Chains A and B, each alone.
Chain A
Amino acid sequence: MLDFPRWKQVWFWAITLIACFAALPSLSSFAGAAWPSALPDPRINLGLDLAGGSHILLEANPEQVKRQRLESMEEDVRNRLKQAEPQIRIGDISSKDGTVSFILDDPTRIDAAREQVQTLTNGAQLTGQRDWDLQVMDGNRIVLTPTRAGIDQAVVQAMETATEVVRKRIDALGTREPTIIRQGSNRIVVQVPGLSDPAALKNQLGQTAKLEFKLVDTTALPSDLAQGIVPPGDEIVYYANPSKDGAAPMAVKRLGGIKGDQLADAKPGNDDRDNQPIVTITFDQQGGAKFAKLTSENVNKPFAIILDGKVISAPNINEPIIGGTARISGSFTADSANQLAINLRSGALPVDLKVVEERSVGPDLGADSIRKGMIAFGVGTGALMLFMLMTYGRFGVYTCLALIINTVMILGIMAGLNTTLTLPGIAGFVLTIGAAVDANVLINERIREERARGRRVHQAVEMGYKEASRAIFDANITNIIAATLMFFFGSGPVKGFAVVLVIGIATSVFTAVTLTRMWVSGWLRRARPSDIVL
């Protein structure tokens, strides 16, 4: 047990030194010193509770994705059958009860219709399933049912796009070093260090920014609309700002409008006439062509500019707009115009995102926590070392050395793995030190006992390490079990605590058992003591 060949010693020292070097950049930054940029620079990130900042958890509703999917399938089916040669005529398409179904006017064309619709479905992921189930019923009705795999795939895609959009929007705000990660199937975590008032950020993310241009149905009677009677093929929309534009509902054509997703640019600006804030949008080529077609076919008719289901304004089309540029005016403020421009540039969110959890920490509290945490750590470790020296003498010196190396190694490994130090993490740190000492206490007490039983020094030390190792091993395994469960079930700060604990357990076994044994055996070989003070 006490034999340490040269190669082993070199190896252990190398591990120790590498881990300690990795800690240097972090240590120098805690001390407020600059780290030369030419050197590798692994750093420990400070969690939001220490650095100050905001944590926002956004959630999407998968039901919304399902609904949108049904709606777009409805439209696709309609277009596809209309374009078929010769055209396949159908009755109303219903997308209620979570399926898309329609009846053919001419049942003899059921096979042709089936073939056409089949091309609208795709394979879903790697499941071998299709994303829609296609059934023919009663010989003249086709029913499309979304499959589980299809829905899952759609939700995943929507969340991926949403995450991308969120990232673009946050970048556009000029925030530094945000962390944006997907969590679970329908959530996104946004963490922004240094931002203690996230209201603006939340406003930005809370806007879906789905822009639509739809024709106003001028034939609809206001009295009907007020009673909630919707003319066929229309839908009812309201003004976004009823206090200024009026609370009366407006009927717009469900189909035939265009969406604002084919934009090349969007800029905030001011109207030349009344100097009100506006947003100028520029369509891309395809979008511009569509917009030109819509405006030239409907000159002198009003169309509604709809943002997230609410009308911003409903101007008259005075002349065809063929340049691909349009100005959106409405009751904007300079801020809201800027916000809308950013959101239109970064694209609409495929789903609405809601804030379900939000935590923000001011910078003073974080700085205070770091300072107090460091003081507590220093005083605690100092007192502990004194206690060890008083109790175990020379063996206490080894214990203290192991402690110091342990601390630096934990920092080094945390920096190397790029983990985050949170407030409970600091507590975990202090506790790890306490636990690391336990291993040395077990060993030293055992050596003491073996000496009391009359074993010779060398043998007593060897037995001490051997017999104590069993309990140290079992105790550490159980702690790893607890920490692992903490990591998987815990969230945020608890996770940070678990990470420190696991790293600390690994390093404490190495420093408290392996390194001290190497030092003790080296001393025994050199000094050949006949008795030890313990």
Chain B
Amino acid sequence: MKLLKLVPDNTDIKFLRWRVPFYVISLLLMAASLTLVFTKGLNLGVDFVGGQMIRVTFVQTPAAPVAALREEVAKLGYGEPIIQQFGKPNEVSVRMKLPEGSDQDAGLADQMARKITAGIKSAHPDARIDGVDSVSGKVSGELFRTGMQALIFAMIAISIYIWIRFEWQFGVGALFALVHDVTLTLGLFALTQMEFDLNIVAAILTLIGYSLNDTIVVYDRIRENLKKFRRMPLPELLDLSVNETLSRTIVTSLSVLITLLALLLLGPNVIFGFTAAITLGIFVGTYSSIYMAAPILIWLKVTSSSFVPTETAVDRQERLARERS
């Protein structure tokens, strides 16, 4: 039986030769992402800014009548709605700011939801109301804060773990690769204006985990090779490690992509943004493990001495005794 082999044995691709241009590109992309996030901003969902979101599915129409819907809802006097399709063209979310004074009287928000859903249903008999989310400003502020805390703490905790298991240079490298991945993902969300909600925070945490999976596999091989080939120049050793793990990297990334594609194409539309974020993260994460996490070790001057135990006085005496006998 002939097995599928995606990567030939003994590849010798000089990945690290291009480290400087790739670093420049990545840094530019990160800068661009940050600029986008700060100028265009993230399209924050009701989870994070508060407000009301009504999800509507048009059961018989192939595409939701967004413009008509916007006009109908605006006519009700609660301000302009933000209407967005998600997943399928016939599913939309209608987002509104909570009405004045709803902090004091929760009934006002209810009234608004009632009027809007009734308005939509009377104008479009095939509209199915799939859910209503109302989040007050106070709660959304907390959700945003705790979400960001989760992200930052996760990155720091993971880096500390890598530092303990490897060396400080590896910890810095892993942290940098993670910051890179998260920044680019945020940039994508700012660019496409996909809705950024609590689920996306979970997605980013997941891709941090996966990106790190890759980084750790490469780092583990680098550590092993540093012990094995003490005199090999570092760039060469990094290339060797990346090449040795290349087959695994490709097979694993493909495996995860297969499941993600199934989820993206066939899965529930509600988590489309979530799956999209992770799918992008798989590409970015694989790339960053090779081009961000590895080369930084050259600049931070990792040596094999970090992993070879130094000889203690007792060891030395024993060795000399052995040599004499």
Contact = CB atoms under 8 A, between A and B. Distances in A.
A and B associate in one complex: yes
Interface of A: 49, 57, 59, 196, 199, 202, 206, 354-362, 364-365, 368-369, 372-373, 375-377, 379-381, 383-384, 387-388, 390-393, 423-424, 426-428, 430-431, 433-435, 437-438, 441-442, 445, 448-449, 452, 467, 470-471, 474-475, 477-479, 481-483, 485-486, 488-494, 497-498, 501, 533-534
Contact of A493 (B3, B9, B198): B198
A105 B20 CA distance: 87
B209 A372 contact: no
Tell me the dominant secondary structure on chain B's binding face. helix
A424 B199 contact: yes
A356 B136 contact: yes
Contacts of A202: 106, 110
Given A437-B255, A474-B216, A423 B270 contact: yes
B11 interface: no
B274 A427 contact: yes
Given A372-B267, A430-B259, A438-B255, A358 B134 contact: yes
Given A362-B131, A431-B278, A384 B267 contact: no
Contacts of A492: 198
B55 interface: yes
B4 A390 contact: yes
Interface string B133-162: 111101100010011011001100110011
A93 B208 CA distance: 61
10 contacts: A202-B106, A356-B135, A362-B130, A391-B251, A430-B259, A430-B263, A438-B256, A442-B252, A471-B217, A474-B216
B67 interface: no
A435 to B, nearest CB: 7
B259 A431 contact: yes
A438 B135 CA distance: 39
Contacts of A441: 248, 251-252, 255
A431 B153 CA distance: 22
Interface residues of B, number: 78
Contacts of A384: 255, 258-259
A488 B147 CA distance: 10
B82 interface: no
B37 interface: no
B303 interface: no
Contact of A392 (B3, B55, B220): B3
Instruction: Identify which of A424, A449, A474 gathers the most chain B CB atoms within 10 Å of its CB.
Output: A474
Interface of B: 1, 3-6, 9-10, 55, 57, 106-107, 109-110, 114, 128-136, 138-139, 143, 146-147, 149-150, 153-154, 157-158, 161-162, 165, 198-199, 201-202, 205-206, 208-210, 212-213, 216-217, 220-221, 224, 244-245, 247-248, 251-252, 254-256, 258-263, 265-271, 274-275, 278
Nearest to B132: A360
A365 B130 contact: yes
Given A393-B1, A479-B209, 8 more contacts: A358-B132, A379-B266, A431-B206, A482-B205, A490-B147, A490-B198, A494-B202, A534-B3
Contacts of A423: 268, 270-271
A360 B256 contact: no
B106 A206 contact: yes
Contacts of A471: 216-217, 220-221
B183 to A, nearest CB: 17
A369 B87 CA distance: 12
B89 to A, nearest CB: 16
**Most interface-central of B57, B154, B267, B274 (chain A CB within 10 A):** B267
A72 B213 CA distance: 60
Contacts of B274: 424, 427
Contacts, number: 234
A356 B252 contact: no
B312 to A, nearest CB: 25
Nearest to A392: B3
A427 B157 CA distance: 24
A85 B37 CA distance: 74
A130 B109 CA distance: 42
B213 A489 contact: no
A354 B102 CA distance: 10
A434 B259 contact: yes
A350 B100 CA distance: 27
A376 B247 CA distance: 26
A445 B209 contact: no
A22 B36 CA distance: 49
Given A356-B139, A372-B268, A390 B3 contact: yes
A483 B248 CA distance: 24
A490 to B, nearest CB: 6
Contacts of B9: 452
B268 A368 contact: yes
A241 to B, nearest CB: 15
A380 B165 contact: no
B136 A357 contact: yes
A206 B107 contact: yes
Nearest to A365: B130
A481 B160 CA distance: 11
A474 B160 CA distance: 12
B139 A361 contact: no
A478 B255 CA distance: 20
A478 B158 contact: yes
B268 A482 contact: no
B268 A438 contact: no
Contacts of A364: 57, 128, 130
A392 B198 CA distance: 38
Contacts of B153: 485, 489
Contact of A490 (B114, B138, B150): B150
Contacts of B198: 490-494
A379 B262 contact: yes
A470 B218 CA distance: 12
B143 A491 contact: yes
A359 B47 CA distance: 10
A434 to B, nearest CB: 4
B216 A475 contact: yes
A153 to B, nearest CB: 25
B146 A489 contact: yes
A490 B146 contact: yes
A49 B132 CA distance: 11
B131 A490 contact: no
A35 B154 CA distance: 41
Closest 10 CB pairs of A and B: A380-B262, A489-B150, A434-B256, A376-B267, A365-B130, A369-B268, A380-B259, A471-B220, A355-B106, A376-B266
Contacts of B6: 391
B255 A434 contact: yes
Nearest to A205: B106
A365 B55 contact: yes
A428 B80 CA distance: 36
B3 A485 contact: no
Contact of B270 (A365, A376, A377): A365
Contacts of B201: 490, 494
Contact of A486 (B134, B205, B248, B260): B205
A427 B162 CA distance: 27
A439 to B, nearest CB: 9
Contact of B262 (A355, A383, A424, A497): A383
Given A359-B131, A391-B4, A373 B268 contact: yes
A365 B248 contact: no
B266 A375 contact: yes
